[in-house]
Structure 1
Amino acid sequence: MFEEVLSEEAIAAAEELSPLLADFYLAGGTGLALQLGHRKSVDFDFFSRELFQSDILLQKIRPDKILFAREGTLHCEKRGVKLSFLFYETALIYSPAVWRKIKVADWRDIIAEKFKAISQRGSKKDFYDLYAAVILKMGIEEACLIFKKRFGSSDMNLYHVLKSLTFFDDAEGEPMPHLLMGGEKWEWKNIKIFFEENIYRFEKGLIG
């Protein structure tokens, strides 16, 4: 795992939480960055297929600040690190990795989620994450196949997902992620060009 993507405070928070996370796995941008090493990440998103009671979880993790809490959802802070705990029924396809005794969703499962995130409201980080996986780990066609494998039984509109891959309005005003990989191909303008120039390959992979 690429621990350099995290702050010392985040690693300390993870160490403190690890004995309490048997029912959860880490995913999201941090889970992906730990496996690809492409950018810094500052928060933790934990998911569970078991519906949990936030009040019971709060007693265990003892956060410094509670941001939002209800059944199956908890957002809080510990050691200055934002933590999210979410009930999420969709099953993982691949066996999780383990980092500091914490289960981490396989990067391929997280990439499937990135398609979904972009279709809902694509942040700049989501576009960078999908781009990083495609150029560092797999091709466009394989990425599309994994997305369909994980969410094929859902009612997601694949045409909407495809269109979202070249809709950058929501991402434009956001700050740049703290990248750990440099060079011209990592500039935002070239990330957009990549998706625009390869949209027909994404179409073939998603829709056929």
Structure 2
Amino acid sequence: MKDKELDSFNLVGGTALSLKLGHRMSVDIDLFTDRDFDSHHISRHLTETYKAENIKTLKNGIFCFIKDVKVDILAHQYPILNKVEEVEGIRMLSLQDIGAMKLKAILHSGTRLKDFVDMHFLLEQLPLQKITEGFVQKYPDVNVQMAHNALLYFEDFNKKEKINFLGREISLKEMESRLRAAVANTSQIFKPDQAKTLLPKKINPSPNDTLKRKHRKRPGL
């Protein structure tokens, strides 16, 4: 990311998490900034420099493909919680920042299996309590209980969605078990083979919380 035109943007989402955790393959590029930007200027730059195709340009948003890689460039005007990390020239947000954004995506949609898988592996680095603290700092108007309930609602995502694991694979049962355990004990950090610790007999979101989530708009993550 030595491109001066993209100096204010940072890598987020599944690809950033994959580079940090090495848990699954992800090639989509999500670049977010916390400020306004000239989307038409950046769009022209992407076309001229990287031969971007199928470009859709909105205020503070660009959606395109570069060499068959899906690229989303957005203004995500919420606080950046921790220092931006740079690894081999790639600027990325912290695990807590990305975890908070993943939790928001699950709350507002919950249709992507990969978001739940990402949360499973993220819980080996941070407890849900830490992710939730970042979630509240970044999005002050959120409902924490509804967010935790959303982590336990497994009916909306496609259970056959292909996840290209790198190394250790997990089953849906393992993933669901760990998320239940994390909600039961939010201070717990999991070991790679630990899914059922402190698992209660049953924790399910209430029908009212599920209904509220279904009527929310999907976020741009």
Partner amino acid for 2:117? Answer: Y
Write the distance in 1 (CA, Å) between the matches of 2:67 and 2:141: 39
Compared with structure 1, are the counterparts of its residues 140 and 82 closer, same or farther at alpha carbon in structure 2 (3 Å cutoff)? same
What is the one-letter code of the residue matched to 2:179?
F
The answer to whether residue 123 in structure 2 is matched with residue 134 in structure 1 is yes
**C-alpha separation between the residues in 1 aligned to 2:105 and 2:160?**
15
Note the C-alpha offset of 1:171.
Answer: 1.5
What is the deviation of 1:54?
1.8
1:188 equivalent to 2:177? Answer no
Query: In the superposition, relative to structure 1, how do residues 107 and 51 fare at CA in structure 2: closer, same or farther (>3 Å)?
Result: same
Letter aligned with residue 129 of structure 1: D
Residue in structure 1 matching 2:107, options 115, 119, 144: 119
Question: Contact conserved, 2:128 with 2:183, CA < 8 A, in 1?
Answer: no
Q: Percent of aligned positions with the same letter in both sequences? A: 24
Q: Specify the alignment match of 2:204 in structure 1.
A: none
TM-score normalized by the length of structure 2:
0.75
Unaligned segments of structure 1, at least 5 residues: 1-14
- Determine the C-alpha separation between the residues in 2 that align with 1:130 and 1:92: 19
In the alignment, which residue of structure 2 is the partner of 1:167? 153
For structure 2, the 5+ residue unaligned runs are 189-221
Report the 3-state secondary structure (helix = DSSP H, G, I; strand = E; otherwise coil) of the residue aligned with 1:177. Answer: coil
| 2:16 alignment partner in structure 1 | 31
Q: Is 1:93 paired with 2:81?
A: yes
Larger mean Cα displacement after TM superposition, 29-38 or 63-72: 63-72
**Matching residue's letter, 2:93:** A
Instruction: Describe the SS at the equivalent of 1:51.
Output: coil
CA contact (8 A) 1:18 1:102 kept: no
User: Which amino acid in structure 1 is aligned with residue 127 of structure 2?
Assistant: G
Out of 57, 67, 73, which is 2:61 matched to? Answer: 73
Q: Structure 1 residues 91 and 198 mapped into 2: Cα distance closer, same or farther (>3 Å)?
A: closer
Amino acid of the structure 1 residue aligned with 2:63: H
Q: Is the alpha carbon distance of 1:198 and 1:22 closer, same or farther for their aligned partners in structure 2, counting shifts above 3 Å?
A: closer
Q: TM-score, normalised by structure 1?
A: 0.79
Deviations 1:88-144 (A, max 9, x none): 111211111113433211122101111111101122111111110112x12333333
How big is the alpha-carbon RMSD for the aligned residues of Structure 1 and Structure 2?
Answer: 2.2
Q: How big is each residue's C-alpha offset from its partner over 1:151-178, in whole Å with a ceiling of 9 and x where there is no partner? A: 3xx2112221121011112213451321
1:28 to partner: Cα distance: 0.8
Shift in Å, 1:42:
1.4
Cα 1:42–1:34 change in 2 (3 A) is same
SS at the partner of 1:95? coil
Q: Hey, which of these two has a bigger chunk of helix by percent?
A: 1
For 1:18 and 1:104, the matched residues in 2 are separated by 15
Q: Distance in 1 between matches of 2:29 and 2:127?
A: 27
